[in-house]
């Protein structure tokens, strides 16, 4: 099957439009209202505000999280102790974290969530946008859409309304504009010090040992692996599945024990779903190799750091979860020498590859998840 590049328009880029509300404007409105903390998980839509607060120049303290479900309870703790937090996340994360939103409603917490409105606008093929407003209405959460910098007063209204109703309100941002952080300002730049391999070269090394493994890629690997893969028909691009590539791989490996499955996960994604390692160990499929491509940042969004991005020893976590074989490589020579032995083991295996960000090595996205999965279902049904 020939993969084609994904057509433009899958995601809007409203944050680049002049009418998009600016990060500085929003920050000033939040500071004036006495907000003390921003509990956030970064994404492209809201990144400029995230970066501005992360730079430490604001009185608002940034608490960045690994998983959006953490945000409401952290904010609840801050609120209980007399602080005034707000939340920020992408609509994907808001959908994912709904049970903690239920908690906020049940306990009458006046919390405002700034939501990156991915898939906003009529006709966007990105399905996320279709669910966001109906979900907010179903949960009886009042919201306004800030699709124009002139609507900035909505921030004050949302904060007041949350207090009055002692419950959640939301602000939807199709994008937040402003100057993007320079590399030096970006907190992830300081992570670049560790010994690391070249991204493309390390994946090339994996590709040279591939026979007929089914490969599920994720995040930046979605855009690098297709450049070197010689068996595109056995590749699935995990686009739109943030943090769950390991879980998808586990399901396939269980259903097809005779087929080797490789997952090429992102480190921010794995940090969001660490529990998948215990689940894998519990099932212990002998045919699954879970790689994490550890580039120490959310590269595919805007190179942000995530909590402890430079300090997580994923192989140690995998081992502690009960995965019998766990390895780390940060040197290409060692990877070349060690990989045959790693891949020859007949048991569940985890491998962390410490790499430099792919940067310009990354190509375009070549496939959407539904297309890849549909093809794979046909392929696997016949085996
Ligand atoms: C539930 C959810 N939260 C947030 C996002 C936004 N988002 C998409 S990719 C990504 C970062 C992925 O980082 P990582 O797994 O480290 O991959 P890399 O690009 O660095 O390889 C984020 C935060 C999302 N798509 N879904």
Give the model confidence (pLDDT) of 346-363 as tens digits.
Answer: 999 999 999 999 999 998
Nearest CA to ligand 1 atom 3: 93
Q: How far is CA 241 from CA 21, 129, 232, 314, 353, in A?
A: 28, 15, 19, 20, 21
Model pLDDT, residue 4: 62
Average pLDDT over residues 321-329: 98
Beta carbons of 40 and 87 less than 8 angstroms apart: yes
With 70 as the cut, is the pLDDT of residue 163 above it?
Answer: yes
Q: Which two tokens stand for residue 175?
A: 């994008």
CATH number (domain holding residue 211): 3.40.50.970
Nearest CA to ligand 1 atom 6: 43
Q: Is residue 216 part of a domain?
A: yes
Q: Is residue 181 part of a domain?
A: no
Q: Is residue 305 part of a domain?
A: yes
Clarify whether residues 141 and 192 are in a common domain. Answer: no
Q: Is residue 355 part of a domain?
A: yes
Q: How far is CA 160 from CA 30, 96, 106, 109, 126, in A?
A: 12, 26, 19, 13, 32
Nearest CA to ligand 1 atom 21: 220
With 90 as the cut, is the pLDDT of residue 106 above it?
Answer: yes
pLDDT in tens, 167-189: 999 999 999 998 877 655 654 54
Ligand 1 nearest-atom number relative to CA 267: 16
List ligand 1's pocket residues with C-beta within 6 A.
41-43, 68, 90, 92-93, 96, 219-220, 242, 266-269, 293, 295, 297-301
Clarify whether residues 203 and 323 are in a common domain. Answer: yes
What whole-number distance in Å separates Cα of residue 136 and Cα of residue 167?
A: 13
With 80 as the cut, is the pLDDT of residue 365 above it?
Answer: no
Average pLDDT over residues 287-298: 96
Q: Measured in angstroms, how far is the CA atom of residue 334 from the centroid of ligand 1?
A: 29
Parent domain of 249: 187-381
In 3D, which of 198, 240, 196 has the Cα closest to residue 218?
240
Grade residue 259 by pLDDT with cuts at 50, 70 and 90. Answer: very high
Model pLDDT, residue 65: 97
With 60 as the cut, is the pLDDT of residue 219 above it?
Answer: yes
Clarify whether residues 135 and 209 are in a common domain. Answer: no
Model pLDDT, residue 233: 87
With 70 as the cut, is the pLDDT of residue 24 above it?
Answer: yes
Q: Is residue 341 part of a domain?
A: yes
In 3D, which of 173, 129, 163 has the Cα closest to residue 27?
173
- Overall domain count for the chain: 2
Best residue among 93, 135, 242, 354 to mutate for probing ligand 1, ranked by most atoms within 8 Å of CB? 242
Best residue among 298, 353, 362 to mutate for probing ligand 1, ranked by most atoms within 8 Å of CB? 298
Domain boundary among 124, 140, 173: 173
């Amino acid at each position: 099957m020939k993969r084609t590049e994904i057509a433009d328009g899958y995601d809007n880029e409203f944050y680049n439009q002049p009418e998009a509300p600016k990060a500085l404007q929003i920050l000033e409105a939040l500071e004036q209202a006495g907000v003390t903390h921003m509990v956030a998980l970064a994404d492209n839509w809201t990144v400029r505000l995230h970066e501005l607060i992360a730079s430490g120049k604001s009185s608002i303290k940034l608490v960045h999280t690994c998983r959006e479900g953490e945000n409401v309870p952290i904010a609840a703790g801050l609120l209980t102790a007399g602080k005034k937090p707000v939340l920020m996340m992408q609509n994907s994360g808001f959908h994912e974290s709904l049970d903690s939103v239920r908690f906020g409603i049940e306990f009458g917490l006046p919390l405002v969530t700034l939501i990156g409105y991915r898939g906003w606008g009529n006709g966007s093929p990105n399905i996320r946008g279709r669910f966001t407003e109906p979900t907010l209405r179903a949960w009886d959460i009042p919201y306004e859409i800030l699709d124009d910098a002139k609507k900035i007063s909505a921030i004050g209204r949302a904060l007041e309304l949350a207090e009055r109703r002692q419950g959640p309100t939301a602000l939807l941002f199709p994008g937040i504009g402003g100057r993007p952080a320079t590399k030096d300002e970006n907190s992830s730049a300081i992570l670049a010090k560790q010994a690391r391999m070249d991204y493309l070269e390390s994946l090339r090394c994996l590709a040279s040992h591939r026979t007929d493994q089914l490969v599920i890629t994720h995040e930046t690997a979605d855009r690098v692996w297709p450049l070197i893969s010689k068996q595109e028909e056995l590749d699935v691009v995990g686009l739109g599945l943030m943090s769950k590539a390991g879980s998808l791989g586990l399901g396939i490996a269980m259903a097809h024990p005779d087929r080797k499955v490789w997952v090429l996960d992102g480190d921010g994604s794995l940090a969001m779903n660490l529990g998948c390692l215990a689940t894998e160990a519990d099932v212990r499929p002998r045919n699954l190799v879970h790689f994490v491509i550890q580039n120490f940042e959310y590269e595919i969004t805007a190179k942000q750091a995530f909590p402890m991005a430079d300090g997580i020893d994923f192989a140690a976590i995998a081992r502690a979860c009960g995965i019998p074989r766990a390895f780390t490589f940060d040197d290409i020579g060692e990877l070349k020498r060690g990989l045959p032995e790693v891949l020859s083991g007949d048991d569940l295996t985890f491998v962390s590859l410490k790499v430099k960000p792919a940067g310009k090595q990354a190509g375009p996205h070549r496939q959407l998840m539904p297309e890849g999965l549909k093809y794979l279902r046909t392929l696997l049904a016949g085996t």
